[in-house]
Amino acid sequence: MTGNQRVFTHKNAHILLVEDAADLADVVRRELTAAGYTITHAADGETALRLGQEQDFQLVILDWMLPGINGLDVLRALRSYTSVSVLMLTARDAEIDRVLGLEVGADDYLTKPFSMRELVARVRAMLRRRELIEQTIVSDQSAVGDRVEVGSLRIEPSSYTVSVEGDAIDLTRTEFALLYLLVSNMGRVFSRAYLLDTVWGADYVDGDRSVDNTIMRLRKKLKALGTCIEAVWGVGYRWKRECPE
């Protein structure tokens, strides 16, 4: 998960599986290998972090309950240097736990026990989403150049970097793509369904909070500029015109 990540196709993805339960890890690895993916397994958080520094992965499947460093702390550490997509596996089904994982930077979560069919479907959806995001950003780069600036906000697609008043803001790829879309189309209202289809590459299901949770994280990370992301009741979200003033 170095800085030289290439645009990939979801069919050739390299996945890091972080799971301490050997039987479950074997089943997951077998199913995902059969689906065409390359799988590297880590049985603990320390090994996962070492592998994350040494190799490029397009997706991390991360168990919450790990020996030593728990999954949430692994996620925090990963987010300090990479925006790789992360699917959390958790036996903790309380809403507060799910929200906590999303706020720390998970892109999706799956509650145990789960079916292998659902896991493979989630993995495919996340990888297609990332492929679409990277292809969209590459396309947008050729159309609008390497930089978008609004007031003190600077977005540079060529390096996936965002800064406010010169200070770098760490964003996941999903957060980056969402912010880039909103700022590049200032004043335009995007429905949740459109954002899910364009940024996530997924169909909208009533009650899906993926967009709202990501908007919430974006607002927090942008601090004062977070108010520029405006909710339009009953429709969706937009970046307010002439914001910041």
Residues 119 and 40: their CA atoms lie apart, in Å, by 16
What is the domain count for the chain? 2
Range of the domain at 166: 145-239
* Co-location of 120 and 17 in the same domain: yes
Does 211 or 29 have the greater pLDDT score?
Answer: 29
Q: What average pLDDT does this structure show over 189-195? A: 85
Do 110 and 176 reside in the same domain of the chain? no
The three state secondary structure string of the chain is CCCCCCCCCHHHCEEEEECCCHHHHHHHHHHHHHCCCEEEEECCHHHHHHHHHHCCCCEEEEECCCCCCCHHHHHHHHHCCCCCEEEEEECCCCHHHHHHHHHHCCCEEEECCCCHHHHHHHHHHHHHHHHHHHHHHHHHHHHHCCCEEECCEEEECCCCEEEECCEEECCCHHHHHHHHHHHHCCCCCEEHHHHHHHHHCCCCCCCCCHHHHHHHHHHHHHHHHHHHEEEECCCEEEECCCCCC
CA atoms within 13 A on the CB side of 40: 17
96 lies in the same domain as 189:
no
Angle between helices 45-54 and 71-79 (to 10 degrees): 20
CATH code for the domain of 31: 3.40.50.2300
Q: Are residues 166 and 210 in the same domain?
A: yes
Residues 100 and 209 occupy one common structural domain = no
Q: Which of 5-9, 150-154, 209-213, 233-237 has the lowest mean pLDDT?
A: 5-9
The answer to whether residues 114 and 30 belong to one domain is: yes
Q: What pLDDT, in 10s, does the model give residues 71-117? A: 999 998 988 877 788 999 988 766 666 677 777 788 888 888 899 99
pLDDT, tens digit, 9 for 90 and up, residues 117-156: 999 998 988 888 777 766 665 554 454 456 788 888 999 8
pTM: 0.58
Residues 17 and 108 in one domain: yes
Give the domain CATH number at 214. Answer: 1.10.10.10
